[in-house]
Structure 1
Amino acid sequence: MSKFLLVGLGNIGEAYINTRHNIGFDVVNAFVLKHGGFFRNDRLADVAEVKWKGRQFICIKPTTFMNLSGKAFKYWMDKEKVQLANTLTIVDDLALPINKLRLRPSGSDAGHNGLRDIQLTLGTDAYPKLRFGIGNNFPKGRQVEFVLGRWQASEQGLVNQKVQKCTEIIESFATVGIEKTMNMVNNLAFTQE
């Protein structure tokens, strides 16, 4: 059975629920819910196991806070003996407009503290990432408040649509591979329903 590690990035605690920075948690939650799984609190992360079409997904939401995400990533990758190419990290991205998603087999941390820590821990940036565009609609100097802020009511429909699409992207990544899935995802532009 092929094994995959899904890593949703976010921060634990009530204050961070439904914030832009926690979209990684939201996507992993949606995937686990879709496949009838449930989370348990375990070492360095909330963890769920999902089996689907002969594949096993270890789904984690690190409980280490964003800046120490690498510790949880590496622990669960090693513990479950998942190949790096079979990991998928879901993360918010300021550089992408809110109507876009981007899947890549590698790439820099682009200033994201969670990705930076994973890269430092692994010693490479060559691990697959699904970047969830959150846009950059904030005044100069207000980036932190924007990232840690909640979605506007006008954005919620688009966000929900993208979260559901992400669950399909994860399934595609695990069945047809990253190259074909990238071709499907990276040119999509979502519109408000």
Structure 2
Amino acid sequence: MLLIVGLGNPDAKYKKNRHNIGFLTLDEIADRWSLGPWKARFQGAACGGTIDTDKAPQKVLLLKPGTYYNESGRAVGEAARYFNIPADKIVVFHDELDLAPGKFRLKTGGGHAGNNGLRSIKAHIDGEFRRGRIGIGHPGDKNRVTGYVLSDIPKADQGWAGDLMDAIARSVPLLANEDYDAFQTRVTHLAPAPGKDETDS
């Protein structure tokens, strides 16, 4: 089983924040692959099912921690222990300040770079998990970061954000098959970052 986690905050007022792009991405995945319904489990909201791939059907569990962003590891750890899911079968989608808006990188392991959600997961999971880093850009001043990530995705960015989340959802069978390089390549091809020549894949 593959555990796919999205980071965000559970209250309705945070729903469209930049910090909640992980939650929004999981909603896209659930909708595209008819997973669900969402149920209260593992200190959060979870849904699961089977995704058809070109190799074999693969079981997936989607999890949106309800513990608030900075304590996400409590929910992830509980789900991983319940299903005995190793770290290398966990993928976490989250907003990334250090990537330009619309850029996407799938990364295995590494530090948390000040992301308290990742810090929390690392404290509750043994081993290295994968991170789906969704670039939101940086406000330019560290003192503005909190207000920036807790602001709604602006109208000017909703086009690339929607395209990128759709591309991730459409490419999930490659993720389920552990074809990680192919997943990265397809997402980038389907949703080129703003300003990138779409013929440059």
Corresponding residue SS for 1:191 = coil
The Cα offsets for residues 132-167 of structure 1, whole Å up to 9 and x where unpaired, read as 000113555211000000011111111100110111
- Could you tell me how far apart the structure 2 residues matched to 1:105 and 1:61 are? 20
> Contact (CA 8 Å) 2:95, 2:135: kept in 1 or not?
yes
> Contact (CA 8 Å) 1:94, 1:133: kept in 2 or not?
yes
Match of 1:52 in 2: 51
- Could you tell me how far apart the structure 1 residues matched to 2:9 and 2:85 are? 24
Match of 1:134 in 2: 136
1:164 aligns with 2:166: yes
- Could you tell me how far apart the structure 2 residues matched to 1:44 and 1:140 are? 31
- CA drift of 1:42 comes to 1.8
The gaps in structure 1 that reach 5 residues or longer are none
Corresponding residue SS for 1:64 = coil
> Contact (CA 8 Å) 2:25, 2:169: kept in 1 or not?
yes
The Cα offsets for residues 167-188 of structure 1, whole Å up to 9 and x where unpaired, read as 1343211125224334555687
- Could you tell me how far apart the structure 2 residues matched to 1:118 and 1:140 are? 23
- CA drift of 1:190 comes to 2.0
Corresponding residue SS for 1:56 = strand
The Cα offsets for residues 13-39 of structure 1, whole Å up to 9 and x where unpaired, read as 011111000011000111011111220
Match of 2:154 in 1: 152
The gaps in structure 2 that reach 5 residues or longer are none
Match of 1:109 in 2: 112
- CA drift of 1:80 comes to 1.5
Q: How is 1:1-193 mapped onto 2 (pairs within 5 angstroms)?
A: 3-37=1-35, 38-53=37-52, 54-124=57-127, 126-139=128-141, 141-185=143-187, 189-191=192-194
**Structure-2-length-normalised TM-score:** 0.87
> Contact (CA 8 Å) 1:103, 1:185: kept in 2 or not?
no
Aligned length: 190
Question: Runs in 1 of length 4+ with deviation above 4 angstroms?
Answer: 183-188
> Contact (CA 8 Å) 2:42, 2:76: kept in 1 or not?
no
Q: C-alpha root-mean-square deviation of aligned residues, in Å?
A: 2.0
- Could you tell me how far apart the structure 1 residues matched to 2:49 and 2:99 are? 29
Corresponding residue SS for 1:11 = coil
Percent of paired sites with the same residue: 25
Corresponding residue SS for 2:143 = coil
Report the AA paired with residue 109 of structure 1: H
- Could you tell me how far apart the structure 1 residues matched to 2:122 and 2:5 are? 13
Corresponding residue SS for 2:85 = coil
